[in-house]
Structure 1
Amino acid sequence: MKCVVIFGPSAVGKAAVGKKLADMLGFKLFHNHMVIELVYNFFTWNDDAFGPLITKIRNQIFEKIKNSKIKGIVFTYVWALDQEEDHKELMEYMSSLGIDLQSLFFVELEADQDIRLLRNKEQERLIEKKTKRNISESENFLLESERRHKLNSENDFFYPELHLKIDNSYLDVDATAEIILDRLNNRGFV
């Protein structure tokens, strides 16, 4: 099994690009909000149970996927690169999937903040992610998380040989996914 991790800040297009890429590769999409939205039916971001429950559910799903006939996963993740806990959590997810570094590729998306603030209000995003429907709260989260954490690398990514960074400020989903697919093909990943 292979895994492409798409990461970057809020509203950068991880889920939309991930969906397109998964379709192109014949992989399954596991975007970060699939479990967040489920857990949010019972707990909010501030509840102690929220984060640990998300992690537990993701790991359980990944363990079942590991033993399935699924060819690969595109997983989206908001990764605070300055937080060792996030790195550790992501690697635990990959371990649950049975994925080692040779079967893993990282795609980092970045886009101008003003563009992400516009994307944050797009109807498709709001339909998929009820936790984003309170626009002022969602915008505040976007700005605050960016202020508090390093959400994009600066030529210092952990695994540079397994990494592609794309500024998709002015690229549509199809163009972004094509760039990724081209890199994966050139690396012999797929």
Structure 2
Amino acid sequence: MKLIIIFGPQAVGKMTVGQSLAEITNLKLFHNHMTIDLVSNFFDYGSSSGKRLVNLFRQEIFEEVAKSDLEGLIFTFVWGLDLEGDWEYVRQISSLFENENGIVYMVELEADLDTRLERNKSENRLLHKPTKRDMVRSEHDLIKTMKNHRLNSQPDEIQSDHYLKINNTNISPSEVATMIRDTFNL
């Protein structure tokens, strides 16, 4: 069992890389908006009810996958590296898989702001993430989150035997997916 956590700031390409990685491996993609957009039909994600439901759905899926005979899961996530709660969340989901003798792989993506702002408008992103279709709100959220939180790691901050950081500003999603597959022998 493998858990690949692809993290980085909004619109860095996590979902698109995850889609490409799922295509070249037997891993299933669980991008963070699969739960956010489901719950957003009922409650704003920022509300206590919205966050609680997103976390419940994710927890149930993680638990079932960790115990299953699937080869593994790709999970995408915006990790506020300045937030202890986000560190705890990563430790918690990682332990679910490690307790079932799984291996957790950390893949961090980074790209410059101009690239991310352009990717924020991409057809694939808008197709799979309905809550991002309000472009004014989405761009505002991207910039605000970047100003308020640290979304990429500092040197040696991520202590994992299975960690890869990629600046994908000028690399296609399929190339990044191939790099991940080959680095971790997926």
Counterpart of 1:73 in 2: which secondary structure? Answer: strand
Partner residue, 1:21: 21
Letter in 2 for 1:7: F
Partner residue, 2:104: 104
Q: For residues 117-156 of structure 1, what are the structure 2 equivalents within 5 Å?
A: 117-156=117-156
Return 5+ residue gaps in structure 2 as ranges. Answer: none
Letter in 2 for 1:2: K
Do the aligned partners of 2:37 and 2:130 also contact (CA within 8 Å) in 1?
yes
1-side partners of 2:164 and 2:101: how far apart?
15
Identity %: 41
Tell me the TM-score normalised to structure 1 length: 0.92
Partner residue, 1:172: 172
Counterpart of 1:18 in 2: which secondary structure? Answer: helix
2-side partners of 1:60 and 1:19: how far apart?
22
2-side partners of 1:101 and 1:154: how far apart?
29
CA shift at 1:98, angstroms?
4.9
1-side partners of 2:172 and 2:178: how far apart?
10
1-side partners of 2:7 and 2:30: how far apart?
12
CA shift at 1:50, angstroms?
1.2
Letter in 2 for 1:95: S
2-side partners of 1:112 and 1:101: how far apart?
36
Go from structure 1 to structure 2 and tell me whether the alpha carbon gap of 1:100 and 1:67 turns closer, same or farther (over 3 Å shift): closer
Tell me the TM-score normalised to structure 2 length: 0.94
Counterpart of 2:166 in 1: which secondary structure? Answer: strand
Go from structure 1 to structure 2 and tell me whether the alpha carbon gap of 1:183 and 1:99 turns closer, same or farther (over 3 Å shift): farther
Go from structure 1 to structure 2 and tell me whether the alpha carbon gap of 1:137 and 1:101 turns closer, same or farther (over 3 Å shift): farther
2-side partners of 1:174 and 1:26: how far apart?
15
